[in-house]
Amino acid sequence: MIDLWGKAIMKIKNHRLVGKDGQAVPYERSPNQSGKLDPTYLIMHFTAGSSARSSIEHLKNPSAKASAHLVIGRDGSIVQLVPFDRVAWHAGRSRLHELRGLNRHSIGIELDNAGELSGEPGRWTAWFGTVYPDDQVAIATHQYDAGPSAWQEYTEVQIAAALEAATAIVAHYGLIDVLGHDDIAPDRKRDPGPAFPLAQFKSRLLGRADEPEPLFVCAANLNIRSGPGVDFEKVRPEALAKGTKVRLEGREGVWCYVEVLDATGAPDLTGWVHGNYLARSG
């Protein structure tokens, strides 16, 4: 999928993340999930693990009683463990304003990162014993601490992949905020920690919400399909009525990926329509 400026972007389809190559990211189902999720927030985590693979295996193990929707490796590779419309077990005992138990209200992304390190320059060591070179270590102050400590750095490609995935997730589900695990479980959790640029991440994600994609209107009754072509099944049996408002989110050839707005202007459903029958609104 490309956006309006011809740049490849990630998308959500059937509650799975679709990468910039148009393929769903690898899916390795975790049994650690429960119930239907209608997410409002995105929660960022570090794995405090030694590799993305070991963290994925852990989060797929029933005895771990933990999971996340996505795990993002230090090379930027993404694996999905739980569909975005199912509750994953990443937040634990947690609270935000009047909400308790944020698993039921949020999508969770885990970033492969060793977390907080102990030791000294030249000997920064993770809890599992690995020693990290100084050029992988940030000396930074956690929001709840008085002074600095050592944390493994995230990689540029990892943050870029997280931003691209989060952009698709926030847009698709209309999420209203992005938080760290330590924001919702301050007495227990220190992730994603001060090495993660949460403030910039948030402003990149939520700043976009102030610049909505262009609004179009259906110039005829228009079938809405699950993919860019007439061979794809209809997302719903009845056509979009002439005059229905949609937001254009991407294009493939003449086919347009749109978010359909209901009578109140709220997002209703997403799918593909033929671009010849869209007219720019107002």
Q: 142: left (phi > 0), else alpha (psi -120 to 50), else beta? A: beta
- Please name every residue paired with 18 in a beta bridge, in sequence order, or none if there are none: 11, 24
CB of 248 to Zn ion, least distance (A): 36
Asked if 183 is part of the footprint of Zn ion (rule: CB under 5 A), the reply reads no
Quote the CA–CA distance of 221 and 193 in Å, as a whole number.
Answer: 50
Asked if 191 is part of the footprint of Zn ion (rule: CB under 5 A), the reply reads yes
Which of 79/260 has CB closer to Zn ion?
79
Asked if 251 is part of the footprint of Zn ion (rule: CB under 5 A), the reply reads no
CB of 191 to Zn ion, least distance (A): 4
Number of residues that bind Zn ion (CB under 5 A): 3
Asked if 274 is part of the footprint of Zn ion (rule: CB under 5 A), the reply reads no
H helix intervals, the chain: 52-60, 156-173, 181-184, 198-207
Asked if 181 is part of the footprint of Zn ion (rule: CB under 5 A), the reply reads yes
What distances in angstroms separate CA 149 from CA 19, 135, 145, 190, 204, one per listed residue?
35, 15, 9, 12, 27
Active centre residues (catalytic): 110
Candidates 23-31, 184-192, 223-231, 243-251; binding stretch for Zn ion (CB under 5 A)? 184-192
CB of 89 to Zn ion, least distance (A): 11
Which of 48/248 has CB closer to Zn ion?
48
Q: 119: left (phi > 0), else alpha (psi -120 to 50), else beta? A: left
- Please name every residue paired with 191 in a beta bridge, in sequence order, or none if there are none: none
What distances in angstroms separate CA 272 from CA 175, 214, 236, one per listed residue?
22, 16, 11
Which 33-52 positions form the footprint of Zn ion (CB under 5 A)? 45
CB of 91 to Zn ion, least distance (A): 7
Asked if 69 is part of the footprint of Zn ion (rule: CB under 5 A), the reply reads no
Residues that bind Zn ion (CB under 5 A): 45, 181, 191
